[in-house]
């Protein structure tokens, strides 16, 4: 009988304590899209900024429970989850084109004396690396995580190849289901007879493979038998009008500037970067600070970055803007958990009227208000 690896118990504590940043910081001027940067093959990224896009702690804890001694595991993408796989599995295959990230993961495991001789890094994009698995004898996979390139159709391509080696009874985890290109895969799996959805862990869907072979033949696949009215994707995955979001941000921040309301941005990514560029171009009042839930980031575009629970230390603020396209509900939950009672501004809301042919933005009334709903009503000229 195999004894349990002691690293299995300590790895999450190590990750929480040291908060290593393995992934690239995307959505900034130096790197607009990390997925685009790595799309054509493996690259060393030593001189680029990094950020932790770690899987949820709940998911990492779940991995330590389901991975048994002797298991062979596989993931697309790399990060904290790779460290957990290394500590738990007998053999782990990590498919990640970021060569530097893979070295950093190895270094972290070395530094903290966590086993990693069982890791095989495939330094390439998943659409190239996964087919090569079949050129050499490949054991059946017990647990697989799809969390690499989220650009369509890569999540579906990842599943196609992983399904060919995932054993019956194996577990498939699909991360970031709030992203539409990932939700398409989940939508398909919901009617695929060879998979059964077991649970959801925050933004991760968990499936068990219950049949050896998937359904082939388009007419027999449940996905193709869905009527159009049942084929709608969840609201969280619908297309977001980024231009309207930026117009909303301009209206609201213009109002905050006129009324001298202290505000913060929640999110240190592409949306926040575009908002800050707009603020600079329009000479509007900048945010007091930026909120982000990733430990280890101290500044973003010259602004201090803090965790939600640190808000009370920053003094009084009047408003928080959710600088994101799809994580609004999670952000609200984090603010509530941190004891923040402000009603944050959601840039998806109908803050601006439908186009009327006017070339200028609606005039913002300079009236001091304390509730976000009144900010919206004042900004759009609606009466309450």
Burial of 137 (0-12, 13-18, 19+ CB in 10 A): exposed
- Fold match flag (6-224 vs 242-346): yes
Q: Taken in order 236, 323, 105, 131, is the CA torsion positive or negative? A: positive
CA distances from 142 to 11, 72, 89, 127, 220 (A): 20, 6, 10, 21, 27
Q: State residue 316 phi and psi, 5-degree precision.
A: -70, 135
The CA distance from 229 to 382, in Å, is 34
Helix axis angle for 154-165 and 180-189, nearest 10°, is: 40
First-to-last alpha carbon distance for the chain, in angstroms, is 70
Q: What is the tens place of the pLDDT at every residue in 124-160?
A: 999 999 998 777 777 799 999 999 999 999 999 999 9
The CA distance from 284 to 251, in Å, is 11
State which CATH number among 3.40.640.10, 1.10.760.10, 3.30.450.40, 3.40.50.150 fits the domain covering 6-224: 3.40.50.150
The CA distance from 238 to 366, in Å, is 34
CA distances from 156 to 60, 182, 185, 217 (A): 23, 8, 6, 17
Q: State residue 355 phi and psi, 5-degree precision.
A: -55, 135
Q: Categorise residue 169: left if φ over 0, alpha if ψ from -120 to 50, beta otherwise.
A: left
Q: What is the tens place of the pLDDT at every residue in 260-276?
A: 999 999 988 888 888 99
Helix (H) / strand (E) element for 15: namely helix 7-18
Confidence of residue 296 (pLDDT cuts 50, 70, 90): low
Q: State residue 236 phi and psi, 5-degree precision.
A: -65, -15
> Shortest CA distance to 93 belongs to which of 68, 74, 76?
74
Q: Which fold has domain 242-346?
A: Rossmann fold (3.40.50)
Which of helix, strand or coil describes residue 322?
Answer: strand
Confidence of residue 6 (pLDDT cuts 50, 70, 90): low
Buried/exposed 104-119: b ≥16 CB within 10 Å, e otherwise: bbbebbeebebbbebb
> Shortest CA distance to 364 belongs to which of 269, 283, 249?
249
Strand arrangement, sheet containing 303-306:
299-300, 303-306, 289-291, 263-266, 319-322, 345-346
Q: What is the tens place of the pLDDT at every residue in 197-216?
A: 999 998 899 999 999 999 88
Q: Which pair of tokens denotes residue 295?
A: 């430990």
Q: So what's the pLDDT on residue 76?
A: 97
> Shortest CA distance to 64 belongs to which of 133, 14, 103, 138?
14
Question: Which of the listed ranges 115-119, 299-303, 360-364 does the model predict with the highest average pLDDT?
Answer: 299-303
Q: What is the tens place of the pLDDT at every residue in 215-232?
A: 888 878 888 876 554 444
Domain ranges of the chain: 6-224, 242-346
As a whole-number percent, the residues of the chain with pLDDT over 70 amount to: 84
Give 48 or 55, the one with higher predicted confidence.
Answer: 48
């Amino acid at each position: 009988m195999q004894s349990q690896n002691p690293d299995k118990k300590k790895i999450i504590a190590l990750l929480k304590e040291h908060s290593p940043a393995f992934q690239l910081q995307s959505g900034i001027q130096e790197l607009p899209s990390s997925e685009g940067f790595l799309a054509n093959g493996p690259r060393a990224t030593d001189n680029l900024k990094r950020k932790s896009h770690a899987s949820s702690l709940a998911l990492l804890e779940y991995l330590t429970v389901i991975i048994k001694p002797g298991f062979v595991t596989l993931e697309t993408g790399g990060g904290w989850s790779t460290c957990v796989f290394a500590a738990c599995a007998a053999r782990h295959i990590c498919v990640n084109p970021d060569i530097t990230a893979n070295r950093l993961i190895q270094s972290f495991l070395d530094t903290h004396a966590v086993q990693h001789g069982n890791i095989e890094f495939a330094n390439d994009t998943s659409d190239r690396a996964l087919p090569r698995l079949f050129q050499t004898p490949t054991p059946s996979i017990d647990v697989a995580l799809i969390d690499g390139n989220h650009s369509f159709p890569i999540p579906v391509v990842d599943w196609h190849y992983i399904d060919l080696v995932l054993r019956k009874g194996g577990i498939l985890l699909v991360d970031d289901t709030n992203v539409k290109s990932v939700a398409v895969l989940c939508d398909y799996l919901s009617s695929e007879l060879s998979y059964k959805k077991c649970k959801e862990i925050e933004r991760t869907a968990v499936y068990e493979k219950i049949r050896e072979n998937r359904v082939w033949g388009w007419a027999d696949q449940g996905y193709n038998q869905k009527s159009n009215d049942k084929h709608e994707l969840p609201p969280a995955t619908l297309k977001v009008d980024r231009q309207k979001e930026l117009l909303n941000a301009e209206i609201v921040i213009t109002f905050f500037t006129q009324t001298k309301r202290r505000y913060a941005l929640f999110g240190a990514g592409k949306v926040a970067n575009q908002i800050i560029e707009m603020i600079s171009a329009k000479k509007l009042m900048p945010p007091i600070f930026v909120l982000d839930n990733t430990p280890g980031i101290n500044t973003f575009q010259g602004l201090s970055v803090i965790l939600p629970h640190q808000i009370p230390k920053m003094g009084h603020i009047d408003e928080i803007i959710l600088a994101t396209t799809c994580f609004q509900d999670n952000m609200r939950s984090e603010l509530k958990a941190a004891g923040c009672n402000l009603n944050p501004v959601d840039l998806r809301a109908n803050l601006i009227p439908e186009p009327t042919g006017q070339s200028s933005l609606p005039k913002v009334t300079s009236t001091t208000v304390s509730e976000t709903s009144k900010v919206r009503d004042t900004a759009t000229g609606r009466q309450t």
